């Protein structure tokens, strides 16, 4: 299943992709319940399938089953020849909506640095004994086709294409052999970084947490569709040119090991977002260096997930004055 969070007619909704359409999961679930005469469940439909992915993940197995029931109902209606699903508001064309980050307000955004062997080798550094962790802020999250905003406080903003992991259930001290069972799904991410701010100190977060510096999407692909997250091709494109091309098997600490380690430090909860590192090819390591400029377009493509694309713009003067 591919979940999306989208904006339509001023409302943020939770949907799923089905046969080239965006299904409104809450409305489809309500329609399914009315069709089946399940009025007891209809009374709690909004709680079972809320308008955001975080709420759905917090709802656990019952909420996921409800989302699956909504999609099954749409498939049954199409097979039966229903032609009014769009007019009922149960689905719409992707071009009619604006995608947002699949998960809007995660409790934690934990990122991993220096986790691809190719990237570490390009830096001329040694592989770390433990995962190198830092955080991004919730305000850094944007979705597919939303703009990465270049702030006036930096002139060394770089791209870093990454695989994102979205946690599906609460866990502490998660064993490595059970780690993937705690994953709700995967998405493309871009760990946009202001290197001149990042390296002012030994702590990287200040150059990573800026607004719009965590594009995420375009979808969250559920874990059952990605049997092994460390066997995926990842490419980053800058203005249509491939600048990063790697397999997630190049991770020094694979996804299982990251979940085990991070959960030994902090309890992981539904909706927590883990960014798993970037491979070789970031702009600051090009000769000459390449940093993002207004008018650029970045895309991160991951096998089995899709392509996350974002334009790059300069921050508006009105924002710089605090208005």
Mean pLDDT of 135-148: 98
Instruction: Check whether residue 80 and residue 107 sit in a common domain.
Output: no
191: Cβ contacts below 8 Å, ≥ 6 apart: 111, 136, 160, 162, 208, 213, 214, 275, 278
Asked if residue 287 and residue 180 are part of one domain, the reply reads: yes
79 and 121 housed in the same domain: no
Q: Is residue 322 part of a domain?
A: no
Report whether pLDDT(83) > 80. no
Average pLDDT estimate for 103-123: 96
In this structure, the answer to whether residues 149 and 293 fall within a common structural domain is: yes
DSSP track, 188-219:
EEE--EEHHHHTTSS--GGGT-STT-EEEEEE
Choosing from 67, 98, 129, the residue where a domain stops is 98
Tell me what percent of the residues of the chain surpass a pLDDT of 70: 98
Q: Parallel, antiparallel, or unpaired for β 21-24 and 11-18?
A: antiparallel
Do 107 and 242 lie in one domain? The reply is yes
What range defines the domain where residue 94 resides?
2-98
Residue 231 pLDDT exceeds 70 = yes
φ and ψ of 198, to 5 deg? -55, -40
Instruction: Identify whether residues 65 and 149 lie together within a single domain.
Output: no
Tell me, yes or no, whether 89 lies in a domain. Answer: yes
Same domain membership, residue 111 and residue 28: no
What integer pLDDT is reported at residue 309 of this predicted model? 98
- pLDDT recorded at residue 152: 95
Residue 102: is its pLDDT beyond 70? yes
98 strand-pairing partners: 7
Structure confidence at residue 78 (pLDDT) = 86
309 and 188 in a common domain: yes
In a domain? residue 323: no
Sign of the CA dihedral running 22, 26, 29, 30: negative
Asked whether residue 227 is assigned to any structural domain, the reply reads yes
Asked, for residue 49, whether it belongs to a domain, the answer is yes
Question: 301 and 166 share a domain?
Answer: yes
- Average the pLDDT over 181-198 and give the result: 97
What is the CATH number for 228? Answer: 3.90.850.10
The answer to whether residue 321 sits within a structural domain is no
pLDDT given at position 318: 72
| Structural domain count, the chain | 2
| pLDDT band per the 50, 70, 90 thresholds, residue 103 | very high
Looking at the chain, the whole-number percentage of residues with pLDDT higher than 90 is 88
pLDDT, one tens digit per residue, over 252-290 is: 999 999 999 999 999 999 999 999 999 999 999 999 999
The answer to whether the predicted template modeling score (pTM) of the entire model surpasses 0.85 is: yes
Q: What is the mean pLDDT of residues 221-236?
A: 97
CA pair distance 15, 5, nearest whole angstrom = 6
- Examine residue 320 and state whether it is found in any structural domain, yes or no: no
* Alpha carbon separation from 240 to 161, 237, 244, 296 (Å, rounded): 14, 5, 12, 10
**Position 322 confidence tier, pLDDT thresholds 50, 70, 90:** low
Of the three residues 98, 120, 143, the one that is the final residue of a domain is 98
Does one domain contain both 265 and 298? yes
Residues 270 and 155 in one domain: yes
CATH number for position 55: 2.30.30.230
Residue 82 has pLDDT above 90, yes or no: no
Question: Does one domain contain both 33 and 121?
Answer: no
What local confidence, expressed as pLDDT, does residue 320 receive?
Answer: 63
Res. 9: pLDDT tops 90 = no
- Domain boundary, last residue among 69, 98, 127: 98
The sign of the CA dihedral 262, 232, 285, 136 is: negative
Average pLDDT, stretch 197-206?
91
């Amino acid at each position: 299943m591919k979940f999306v969070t989208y904006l339509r007619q001023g409302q943020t909704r939770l949907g799923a992709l089905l046969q080239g359409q965006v299904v409104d999961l809450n409305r489809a679930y309500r329609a399914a319940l009315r069709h089946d005469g399940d009025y007891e469940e209809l009374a709690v439909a909004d709680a079972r399938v809320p308008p955001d992915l975080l709420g759905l993940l917090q709802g656990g197995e019952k909420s996921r089953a409800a989302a699956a029931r909504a999609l099954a109902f749409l498939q049954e209606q199409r097979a039966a020849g229903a032609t009014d699903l769009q007019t009922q508001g149960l689905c719409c064309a992707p071009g009619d909506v604006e995608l947002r980050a699949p998960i809007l307000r995660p409790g934690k955004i934990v990122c991993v640095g220096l986790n691809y062997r190719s990237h570490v080798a390009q830096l001329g550094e040694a592989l770390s004994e433990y995962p190198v962790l830092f955080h991004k802020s919730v305000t850094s999250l944007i979705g597919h086709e939303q703009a990465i905003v270049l702030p006036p406080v930096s002139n060394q903003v770089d791209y870093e294409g990454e695989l994102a992991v979205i946690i599906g259930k609460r866990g502490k001290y998660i064993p490595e052999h059970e780690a993937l069972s705690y994953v709700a799904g995967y998405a493309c991410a871009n760990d946009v970084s202001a290197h001149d701010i990042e390296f002012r100190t030994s702590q990287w977060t200040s150059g990573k947490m800026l607004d719009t510096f965590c594009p995420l999407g375009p979808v969250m692909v559920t874990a059952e569709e990605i049997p092994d997250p460390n066997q995926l091709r990842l490419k980053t494109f800058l203005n249509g040119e491939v600048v990063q091309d790697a397999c997630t098997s190049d991770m020094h600490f694979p996804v299982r090991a990251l979940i085990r380690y991070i959960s030994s430090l902090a309890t992981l909860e539904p909706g927590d977002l883990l960014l798993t590192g970037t491979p070789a090819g970031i702009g600051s390591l090009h000769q000459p260096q390449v940093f993002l400029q207004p008018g650029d377009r970045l895309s991160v493509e991951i096998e089995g997930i899709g392509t996350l694309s974002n334009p790059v713009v300069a921050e508006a003067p009105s924002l710089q004055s605090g208005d």
